[in-house]
Copies of this chain bind each other. A is one copy, B any other.
Amino acid sequence: MGYKHNKEDILEVGYQVIRKNGYHHVGINQILKEAGIPKGSFYNFFESKEDFAIQVIQYYGEGNRSWLKGIFQESTETPINTLKSFYKLLIGYNEDDNFCSGCLINNMGNETGRLYDSLAKETKEQFDHWLDLIAEIVKKGQEAKEITNRFGAKEIANYLHSGFYGTFFKMKVERSRKDMDTWLKMTFEFIRA
């Protein structure tokens, strides 16, 4: 039957709350309350807030990685359109979310990257895994002569996703998708073969 609470549920709540509010702005008590678990259980599963954050990043990173994999595998479009649709999808998700949260990885990296080596390391690792998947599609696009060959596939993948992260700043302060749409339009003009 298992016990009453389990790690994944706490991680899911933590992921949502931290993504929306940031790391330092969120206290453990808040997560506890929203997850409906007592403190004893939390510290049974996690050593500290920092340890919890690492596992949240892992949880989100891995979940997202398999989601990505699925999306790319199932796509029936050409490589460059697969990528474009993917970013369109992400923009849509952020719109549904009222342009509030952005990406946990980007948020955590920017807020805590220089403060805690442990979080920086985990953040970077998960991001790199995503990049590998994106780079695969970029490479296919290059082979299909859809995407420029002037730069390496991994370089372009990084350019894409980091560039996308750059749009979160304005998304959050303007609460609008306008800049994300412009970014999409321009970037995919630029990387075209």
The reply on A150 being an interface residue by CB < 8 A is yes
Residues of B within 8 A of A182 (CB): 155, 158-159
> 1/0 contact trace for A176-189 toward B, CB 8 Å?
00010011001001
Q: Please give the number of chain A residues whose Cβ is less than 8 angstroms from any Cβ of chain B in the complex.
A: 50
Beyond A24-B22, A25-B115, A182-B155, whether A167 also contacts B170 by CB under 8 A is no
Q: Interface-forming stretch among A43-51, A95-103, A138-146?
A: A95-103
Q: Is the interface of A mostly helix, strand, loop or mixed?
A: helix
Residues of B within 8 A of A124 (CB): 170, 173-174
The reply on A30 being an interface residue by CB < 8 A is no
8 Å CB interface, A143-178 against B: 150-151, 155-156, 158-159, 162-170, 172-175
The reply on A107 being an interface residue by CB < 8 A is yes
Residues of B within 8 A of A172 (CB): 109-110, 113-114, 120
